[in-house]
Amino acid sequence: MPDLAILIPSVLNGLTTGALYALVALGLTLIYGVLHIINFAHGALLMIGLYAVYFLNVQFGVDPYVSLLIVPPLMFALGYALQRGIITRAGHGRDENILLVTLGLSIVIENLSLFVFKSDTRVIDTPYSFEVVEILGAFLPLPKVIAFVGAFVTAGILWVLMSRTDLGKAIRALAKERKGAKLVGINTEHVYAMSFGLGIACLGVAACLLLPSYYVSPQVGHGFVLIAFTIVVLGGMGSFVGALIGGLIIGVVEALGGLFLGESLGQIGIFVIFILVLIFRPTGLLGHKV
């Protein structure tokens, strides 16, 4: 048993990483909660967001946090178009078809970017990249602390949007009862696409908060996809609070797994949790009946 001086920084580090995971998972859980589809292209779309932030910074000198005003709206538009143009047409009444189409999209996006950007790992250079904050004797990178706060703010904004606006009402109505929503005059196609767009916009936010402490490469989304799925399943499909808590748990599990089992085997904890939760409690910790 390592002593607290190692354990506490490890847990705190895991919490900040977990918040980043939660940000990615928020979009996924929103999309699942409303459209009842599992977006396999989530990681690939995150990668697009990261490249957008990267090139805004390198080409035009835009700070990643300023990009928060630019990238999420762009990602929203992309998501809206994808849902209306491709995904909704592919269902043919089977969930698996959506899974296959988003899988196809992710293969196309990832390999096209591999072709265009090569497999180089790129980072950006900001004045605060190496700033640290001391919390409980642990030194945490400033960008990660900002991302931690950002994850909660984003979840809060989403919550307000869903519970206090007309759009949120329409989205919730559609999630509950599709036919009924249609009968009272909700434009279902539009609202579905809005929800998907919002979920992808979350990825835009995640990309802006992630890049200062992370990197971008064509395969970067890969690592996030299964982790985000795990979080969503763990927290309960469609639950924002669940996604936050799930993200933090996974972050800590990963950090402790790495501490006790080593880098390469440490990741296995995540998948084991994933499998166990899916098998024994597919509704997740806070989810409703699936």
Partner 1 sequence: MRQLVILGIVFALIGLAPFVIASEFWLNLVIMTLYAALLGQAWNILGGFGGQFSFGHAAYFGTGAYTVAVLQVQLGVNPWLGLVAGGLMAVVVAAGIGFSTFRYGLRGSYFALVTLAFAEVLRILSNSVDFTGAGVGILIPLDQGAANFQFVSKQGFFWVIWLMALAAFTVVWWLGNSRFGAQLMAVRDNEDAARALGVSAFRVKMGAIMLSGLFSGLAGVFYAQYFLYLDPYIAYGPAISIESLLVPIIGGMGTLFGPLLGAVGLHLISELTRELIGDLPGISLVLYGILLVIMVLFMPRGLAGLVNRLRPKSAATGARHA
Shortest separation between residue 173's beta carbon and partner 1, angstroms: 23
> Does 121 participate in binding partner 1 (rule CB under 8 A)?
no
Residue number with CB closer to partner 1 (72 or 246):
246
Part of the chain binding partner 1 (CB under 8 A), chosen from 100-108, 148-156, 182-190, 193-201 = 100-108
Residue of 77, 114, 133, 153 that binds partner 1 (CB under 8 A): 114
Q: What is the DSSP letter of 227?
A: H
> Does 21 participate in binding partner 1 (rule CB under 8 A)?
no
Site string for partner 1, 251-280 (x = CB under 8 A): -----------x-xx-xx--xx-xx--xxx
Cα 258 vs. chain centroid, distance in angstroms? Answer: 22
Residue number with CB closer to partner 1 (98 or 145):
98
Residue number with CB closer to partner 1 (110 or 206):
110
133 three-class SS: strand
Residue of 52, 101, 201, 286 that binds partner 1 (CB under 8 A): 101
Q: Are 182 and 188 in contact (CB under 8 A)?
A: yes
> Does 229 participate in binding partner 1 (rule CB under 8 A)?
yes
Residue of 77, 115, 149, 260 that binds partner 1 (CB under 8 A): 115
Distance CA(145)–CA(159), nearest Å, equals 22
Distance CA(264)–CA(268), nearest Å, equals 8
Residue 196's alpha-carbon distances to 39, 112, 122, 177, 267, in angstroms, are 9, 22, 28, 17, 29
> Does 219 participate in binding partner 1 (rule CB under 8 A)?
no
Residue 8's alpha-carbon distances to 58, 60, 131, 168, in angstroms, are 36, 39, 20, 39
In the chain, what are the helix, strand and coil shares in percent, each to the nearest 5?
75, 5, 20
Distance CA(101)–CA(109), nearest Å, equals 12
- Residues in touch with partner 1 (CB under 8 A): 38, 86, 89-90, 92, 95-97, 99-101, 103-112, 114-115, 226, 229-230, 233, 262, 264-265, 267-268, 271-272, 274-275, 278-280, 282, 290
